[in-house]
Structure 1
Amino acid sequence: MYYYILDQHNLPIDKFERLQTELQGLLTEFKISGECARVTPLRSVADLVDTASQRGAKTLVACGSDDTFNLMLAALRGRDFTLGFIPFDEQSYLAKILGVDNLFTGVKTVAARRIEKIDLARIAGNYFISYLEFGVMSQDLKSANWLTSLKLLSTETKSYTIRIDDSYNVNIDALGGLAVNIRSTSSKNETIANPTDASLDLLLLEKLNKADILRYRKIIAMGCLEEVPKTTVIKCKKMEFLEPRGANLTMLGRVVAKFPATVEIIPQRLRMIVGKNRTF
C-alpha cells in the first residue's frame, strides 16, 4: 500500500492545489494510487507517519519540499518502510540526489520502483541521508555574491574538537565544515559522499587567503570542500562534535542539534526508491 504525504510548505495555495490535482491524475495514470494525506496545522508529518504505520502502509512517499522528506525520515523511529520522494519544489536538493527532478519524473520513478539500499545517518535520535553543516558552512553561501562570500569566508577560525570512531580526537582551527553521507555532487566513482560505503565523511575547511576565497568560493558553496586547499578529510563511522559547546549543527540552514552531539552511520538501513539519474 502506498501512503502519500502532501505538504504545502511555503508554496502559494493556488500552486499547491494545482500540483495536488496533477499528482492525483498521474498516480491514477501510472496505477499507483494510494491514500493521500495532507499536512495541516493539526496534522504534522510525524502524525501522518504514525497513521501510515497503523494502516499497514509499506511505502511512504513524501510529496513536497526537502524539509517534508527530512521530517518524514525523522519520524520513522525505526519503523520499516520503503521511502519515495516526489518534489513540489523546483529547487529541491534531494530531488537532484535521488534523480527525480520534477513531479512527473517523481511519479514515474515511484511506479518503476527501483529500490536501492543506502546508508542512513543518525544524530540526536533523528535520521538523515544528506549532510550536516557547521561554522561558516551553515551560511547561505550559494546565494551570496562575491563580496558577501569574501566577508563570510574571511571570518576568524574557531577551535574544534571532534572525536573520531571512539578512537582519537581531532583538534583543529577551522572556518567550519560538513558531516556528509550524500550530496548532489556524489558519484559511484568518488570516494567522498558515497551513501553505500558504510561511512561518513568529515570535511573541515581551514583558513584561506583572499585569492583562494575568490577562486574556490563556488566550489565551497557546492559543498565540495575536498577540492579546496587546506581541507582536512576524514572517513569514519562515528563522529562526536565536542567543542565549541553550543555551536550549531544545521541541515540546509535549519538547526538540528548543538555541540556536543554525536553523528553515526547505519549501513544500508534505508530502502529508497530512486531514479536512473540519481547522483550515486
Structure 2
Amino acid sequence: MYYYIYDIFTGSKKYQHQILKIEGLLAEFGIAGKNFKLNVLKNLEDIIGEALVSEIQNIIAVGNDQTVSKIANLIVGKNIVMGIIPVGEPNILANALGIKSAEEAISIVSARNVLKLDVAKINGGYFILSVESKDRNVIFDFKDYNINALPSNEVMGVYNININNDKFQSDPCDGIMEAVFKPKKIGWFEKLFKKSSPEESSGVSVFPVKKMTIRHKKKPINITIDRQRVLKTPLEIEVLPKKLKMIVGKKRVFE
C-alpha cells in the first residue's frame, strides 16, 4: 500500500496537468494508492501518524526538497520507505538519488530499489544532504580539536551527499559524513595574472564526521540546512547511520 502526499503548492493551476498525468501513470503502473493533498486542514503529522498505525510501509512525497524534508523529519528511524515524485523546484535530493523527472520517478517507485541512508540529527531535527555556510568565522568543533576556515575558503559545510560533484568522496550509507572546506573558484583571468599563495592554490579539505558542533567566533548566525531552511548557531550534529529508508534510482550520484 502506498500513501502519496501532495504538497500544498501542487494544488495550484500551474501543476494541474502534471498532477493528472502523474495519477494516470501511477494507475498504469499498478501502484496507485491513497492520496493526501495537504492544505490548511490536512495536517502532515496526522497523516504520518495514520500511516504508522495502519502499518503503511511506503510514503511517496509529491513535491520539492521542502516536501521531502518535512516528511523525512517525521519518519527517521521508522519502518517506512520514502519515495519522491519531484514536482516544482528545487529538487536537489531527487536528482542526487537518480530521479530526474516525475515521469521517471514513477518507474523508480514501481521498481522499489530501497537503500538505508544516513541522516544527521541537528538541534532536535534532521538533515539529509548538507549544512553550509559562507561565513569564514564559523568554527567546526570536534571536541578534541577545532577547525577554522582559511581566508581562501569560500564555502564550509558538512555533507552526506556530494551534491556539487566537488573533489571529495561521500557515501550516504557509510555512517560518516564529510566536513568540507572549499576554496573559492579562480577564474581564468585571475589564473593568468594573479600569483596565488599556497593557501589559495590548495584544494578541498575534508574531515570525517560522526559528531561535532558548529559555532561562530563572534555571534549566532544562520546556517543553511539542506539548501532550503536555516538554523542559528551553535549547531550540534550527530550522524545516525542508516536511519532513513529511501527509494533510489540507478543514476544516483553515489554507489
Q: Quickly name the TM-score band, shorter chain normalised.
A: 0.7 to 0.9
Aligned residue number for residue 140 of structure 2: 162
Aligned residue number for residue 232 of structure 1: 205
Contact 2:168 2:206 in 1 (8 A): no
Q: Using the alignment, how far apart are the partners of 1:259 and 1:129 within structure 2?
A: 18
Secondary structure, counterpart of 1:94 in structure 2: helix
Single out whichever of 232-241 and 74-83 deviates more from structure 2: 74-83
What is the CA-CA distance between 1:275 and the residue it aligns to?
A: 0.8
Secondary structure, counterpart of 1:32 in structure 2: coil
Aligned residue number for residue 195 of structure 1: 172
Contact 1:46 1:71 in 2 (8 A): no
Contact 2:65 2:89 in 1 (8 A): no
Q: Using the alignment, how far apart are the partners of 1:242 and 1:90 within structure 2?
A: 30
Q: Using the alignment, how far apart are the partners of 2:158 and 2:203 within structure 1?
A: 17
What is the CA-CA distance between 1:38 and the residue it aligns to?
A: 0.6
Contact 1:2 1:61 in 2 (8 A): yes
Aligned residue number for residue 256 of structure 1: 230
Per the normalisation by structure 1, the TM-score is 0.76
Aligned residue number for residue 250 of structure 2: 276
Q: Using the alignment, how far apart are the partners of 1:121 and 1:6 within structure 2?
A: 25
Change (3 A) 1:194 1:186: farther
Q: Which runs of 5+ in 1 are unaligned?
A: 137-157, 217-227
Secondary structure, counterpart of 1:36 in structure 2: strand
State percent identity of aligned pairs: 29
1:93-140 Cα offsets, whole Å, 9 max, x none, are: 12211111111111111111111122122211222221111125xxxx
1:149-168 Cα offsets, whole Å, 9 max, x none, are: xxxxxxxxx3332212x332
Change (3 A) 1:12 1:34: closer
Contact 1:162 1:240 in 2 (8 A): yes
Q: How many residues get paired?
A: 241
What is the CA-CA distance between 1:253 and the residue it aligns to?
A: 4.4
Q: Using the alignment, how far apart are the partners of 1:77 and 1:114 within structure 2?
A: 18
Aligned residue number for residue 153 of structure 1: none
1:29-67 Cα offsets, whole Å, 9 max, x none, are: 111121110111222433432232233211111011111
Say if 2:14 is the partner of 1:2: no
Single out whichever of 250-259 and 24-33 deviates more from structure 2: 250-259
Per the normalisation by structure 2, the TM-score is 0.83
